């Protein structure tokens, strides 16, 4: 899946683009036929796309009567506009990835096949109870499921032991969390010491997961279980303001706005940043810079009480075109790709995400990268996706992040006003009806 920091991936080479163009072409869009062929697509750089070769080969070997046609797109930023155009013109692939910032709107636009028919089919190895319902709920409507997560990435706190030591911090966040003592108070004491030592305390990406996780950590979640926005309260504003004050002082940083050369990744691997909040792909960032992963570790969100609270989980989804040319074959590929075997093939040598399905957690925990890596599994199982109603309004989550939360982090408004703005934007978009 994509990194939050690289939503626009690097373009593939001209040769690779020619290869993709040569094998692309429409799925036909007839729906319900029996062509014995499945076209599918995702996004990624050439190196990322290599991880799919073993899955494609294994599926074709197990299903010799079905031919796979793989049609990848290089750039995440271009992927969904291209896919939307294809869906409109009935030329879209049969099976495709969808980002968690697009899946709810695709469900609302009625372009996806219900995957319940695949789960109930003969020989299916999948069941909904193998996945976290708080994640896949974003792909449901009226109790019908239209996609499932293919892999996930909880927003976790990756910390540099050397930076913490340089700031005189002797407590280990992972040990504090294990004892339910990982409080926001303890965390803020650490970020203050880091700032006083001339380092950046922590860096966050500015998207829905950050502000919603902050509210959850404070015990004032953004949304009720029924999906109603419930954070426009004095209590929620007071908790959010604690964080906003530290952003505006520079103790906490917005990674999106950090300059090149002093960006969050660079600071993390040069021991100038205490905590970086993002996904498992951080292992690659650390090791790719020549750093030993044993010098870093990972921990869940700090909370007001010290006990674990649900946090945001970024994800990408696998969905089926409702007009797939061979629905049985599409279901077979969907099932194989998301199965324990399929996810093992894809992720066993690729440590940039977590499996979305239960039962193969040893792919992550056996790596020992870093020592407290099992915390990521706990975060996946306890975490949540974006609110479905918010996410279904294309661009709304981005608008909240850029026009409400960023000014809050910059000290240009206060938390009470910001949460009021969020409530107004949701109401104007009709999500509170």
CATH code assigned at 116: 3.40.190.10
The reply to whether 196 falls in a domain is yes
The reply to whether 36 falls in a domain is yes
The reply to whether 301 falls in a domain is yes
Instruction: Answer yes or no: do 198 and 334 share one domain.
Output: no
pLDDT at 432: 63
**pLDDT by position in tens, the chain (length 433):** 445 544 333 333 323 322 333 333 334 444 455 679 999 999 998 988 998 999 999 999 999 999 999 999 998 889 999 999 999 999 999 999 999 999 999 999 999 999 998 998 788 899 999 999 999 999 999 999 999 999 999 999 999 999 999 999 999 999 999 999 999 999 999 999 999 999 999 999 999 999 999 999 999 999 999 999 999 999 999 999 999 999 999 999 999 999 999 999 999 999 999 999 999 999 999 999 999 999 999 999 999 999 999 999 999 999 999 999 999 999 999 999 999 999 999 999 877 899 999 999 999 999 999 999 999 999 999 999 999 999 999 999 999 999 999 999 999 999 999 999 999 999 999 886 5
Instruction: Answer yes or no: do 349 and 364 share one domain.
Output: yes
**Domains in the chain, number:** 2
Instruction: Answer yes or no: do 297 and 415 share one domain.
Output: yes
Instruction: Answer yes or no: do 280 and 410 share one domain.
Output: yes
Range of the domain at 225: 156-311+393-428
Give the separation between CA 229 and CA 322, rounded to whole angstroms: 31
| H or E element in which residue 397 lies | helix 396-399
Instruction: Answer yes or no: do 107 and 38 share one domain.
Output: yes
Instruction: Answer yes or no: do 293 and 270 share one domain.
Output: yes
The reply to whether 387 falls in a domain is no
Instruction: Answer yes or no: do 137 and 164 share one domain.
Output: no
pLDDT at 7: 39
Phi then psi dihedrals of residue 68, to 5 deg: -95, 135
pLDDT at 44: 92
Instruction: Answer yes or no: do 372 and 417 share one domain.
Output: no
Taking the whole predicted model, whether its pTM rises above 0.75 is answered as yes
Instruction: Answer yes or no: do 50 and 133 share one domain.
Output: yes
The reply to whether 52 falls in a domain is yes
Residues in contact with 128: Cβ distance below 8 Å, sequence separation at least 6, in sequence order = 119, 136, 145, 148
Instruction: Answer yes or no: do 229 and 267 share one domain.
Output: yes
The reply to whether 78 falls in a domain is yes
Instruction: Answer yes or no: do 122 and 235 share one domain.
Output: no
Instruction: Answer yes or no: do 8 and 148 share one domain.
Output: yes
Give the separation between CA 238 and CA 234, rounded to whole angstroms: 6
Phi-psi category of 306—alpha, beta or left, where left has phi over 0 and alpha has psi -120 to 50?
left
């Amino acid at each position: 899946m994509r990194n939050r920091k690289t939503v626009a991936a690097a373009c593939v080479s001209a040769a690779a683009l020619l290869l993709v163009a040569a094998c692309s072409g429409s799925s036909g869009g007839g729906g319900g036929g029996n062509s014995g062929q499945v076209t599918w697509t995702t996004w990624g750089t050439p190196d990322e796309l290599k991880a799919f070769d073993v899955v494609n080969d294994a599926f074709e070997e197990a299903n010799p009567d079905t031919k796979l046609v793989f049609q990848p797109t290089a750039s995440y930023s271009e992927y969904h506009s291209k896919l939307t155009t294809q869906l409109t013109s009935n030329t879209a692939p049969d099976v495709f990835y969808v980002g968690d910032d697009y899946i709810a709107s695709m469900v609302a636009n009625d372009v996806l096949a219900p995957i319940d028919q695949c789960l109930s089919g003969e020989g299916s190895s999948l069941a909904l109870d193998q996945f976290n319902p708080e994640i896949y709920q974003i792909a449901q409507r009226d109790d019908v499921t239209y996609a499932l997560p293919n892999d996930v990435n909880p927003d976790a706190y990756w910390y540099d032991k050397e930076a913490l030591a340089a700031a005189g911090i002797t407590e280990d966040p992972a040990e504090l969390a294990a004892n339910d003592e990982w409080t926001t108070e303890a965390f803020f004491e650490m970020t203050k010491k880091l700032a006083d030592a001339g380092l950046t305390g922590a860096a966050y990406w500015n998207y829905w997961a950050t502000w919603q996780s902050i509210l959850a950590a404070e015990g004032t979640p953004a949304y009720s279980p029924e999906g109603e926005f419930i954070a426009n309260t004095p209590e929620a504003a007071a908790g959010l303001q604690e964080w906003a004050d530290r952003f505006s002082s520079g103790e906490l940083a917005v990674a999106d706005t950090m300059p090149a050369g002093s960006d969050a990744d660079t600071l993390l691997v040069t021991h100038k940043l205490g905590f970086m909040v993002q996904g498992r792909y951080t292992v690659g960032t650390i090791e790719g810079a020549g750093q030993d992963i044993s010098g870093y570790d990972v921990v869940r969100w700090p909370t007001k009480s010290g006990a674990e609270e649900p946090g945001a989980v970024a994800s990408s989804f696998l969905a089926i075109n409702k007009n797939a040319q061979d629905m049985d074959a599409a279901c077979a590929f969907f099932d194989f790709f998301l199965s324990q075997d399929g996810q093992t093939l894809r992720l066993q040598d690729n440590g940039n995400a977590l499996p979305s399905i239960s039962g193969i957690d040893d792919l992550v925990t056996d790596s020992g990268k870093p020592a407290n890596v099992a915390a990521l599994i706990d975060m996946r199982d306890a975490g949540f996706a974006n609110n479905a109603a918010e996410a279904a309004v294309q661009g709304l989550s981005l608008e909240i992040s850029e026009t409400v939360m960023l000014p809050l982090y910059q000290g240009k408004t206060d938390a009470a006003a910001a949460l009021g703005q969020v409530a107004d934007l949701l109401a104007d978009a009709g999500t509170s009806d």
